[in-house]
């Protein structure tokens, strides 16, 4: 499948129509987080952020409003089970 090129706010966006080859679904058995540093969130919470979704994911949402509602519900459920 050929990738699409779209423009959002006069910026050229390349839409990938094929599955990502660089994503590896397997995690190592053990991960050492002891050397991680805490950094501030680079995203200003007052600004809107553009996120590219794969077509298989995007087809499940009618609009960005529906996607945001879904994500808010997921975050609330994670808070309740304290992950």
Q: Contact 23/29 with Cβ under 8 angstroms?
A: no
pLDDT at 69: 92
Helices (H), the chain: 55-58, 64-81
**Cα-based distances in Å from 80 to 40, 68, 69, 70, 83:** 24, 19, 17, 16, 8
Q: What is the pLDDT of residues 3-44, one digit of tens each?
A: 677 777 777 777 766 666 566 567 677 777 788 777 776 667
Asked if the model's pLDDT at residue 59 lies above 80, the reply is yes
49: nearest Cα among 41, 57, 58, 59: 41
| pTM confidence score | 0.41
């Amino acid at each position: 499948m050929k990738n699409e090129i779209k423009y959002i706010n006069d910026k050229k966006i390349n839409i990938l129509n094929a599955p990502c080859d660089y994503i590896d679904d397997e995690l190592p058995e053990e991960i050492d987080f002891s050397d991680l540093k805490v950094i501030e969130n680079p995203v200003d919470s007052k600004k809107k952020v553009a996120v590219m979704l794969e077509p298989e994911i995007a087809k499940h949402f009618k609009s960005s409003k529906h996607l945001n509602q879904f994500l808010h519900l997921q975050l609330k459920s994670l808070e309740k089970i304290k992950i």
